[in-house]
Amino acid sequence: MGGPVWMGQERVRVPEGELRLLSAREVLDARREGDALAGDGGGRALCRNACLLARALERKGRPVFDSGRAVLDGLRVEDIARLADAWGAFNREANPSPLDGEEEIRRRKKGWSTRLMSAFSGACSGCSALCPRRNGRNG
């Protein structure tokens, strides 16, 4: 799917396409757009989630929706909630918090170190054979 984010993935598949991780600025912009879309009425959380999905949901590398309003027009409330929950869980897994606790941090560090080692297993062995390792100054 995508390149490494803390040795993980930056996209996750959903039936509607792929959800990608967003930068902090993209999340803030989605919140602002959602607040403006909700206006003084209710539904602020729904509008914020719709605007977040407009940025995060893609098919073949292109956004599925061009705005939060388009998400509200194109998806049911249940689908917006399900996709927003999936994005939230994916984001929490990819961007751990120190508030997750010591045990959770150890689990993730172990997972990251395992991924790093398996990602390179055998990949460089052909190149390494051509350039044997040298120890010391002259050899």
Q: What is the mean pLDDT of residues 1-22?
A: 73
What pairs with residue 63 in β-bridges? 58
Residue percentage of the chain with pLDDT more than 90:
53
Backbone angles phi, psi at 21, to 5 degrees: -70, 150
Per-residue H/E/C for 96-139: CCHHHCHHHHHHHHHHHHHHHHHHCCCCCHHHHHHCCCCCCCCC
pLDDT in the model for residue 68 = 97
In this structure, the strands spanning 62-63 and 11-14 are unpaired
Q: Which of 42, 47, 45, 86 is nearest to 69 (CA)?
A: 47
Is the confidence at residue 135, as pLDDT, over 70? Answer: no
pLDDT in the model for residue 38 = 94
pTM of the full predicted structure?
Answer: 0.67
Helices marked H in 23-95: 24-38, 44-56, 68-74, 77-94
Residue percentage of the chain with pLDDT more than 70:
73
Helix pair angle (44-56, 77-94), 10° resolution: 60
Q: Are 56 and 22 in contact (CB under 8 A)?
A: yes
Q: What is the mean pLDDT of residues 27-31?
A: 96
Instruction: Give the confidence band of 128 by pLDDT, cuts at 50, 70, 90.
Output: low
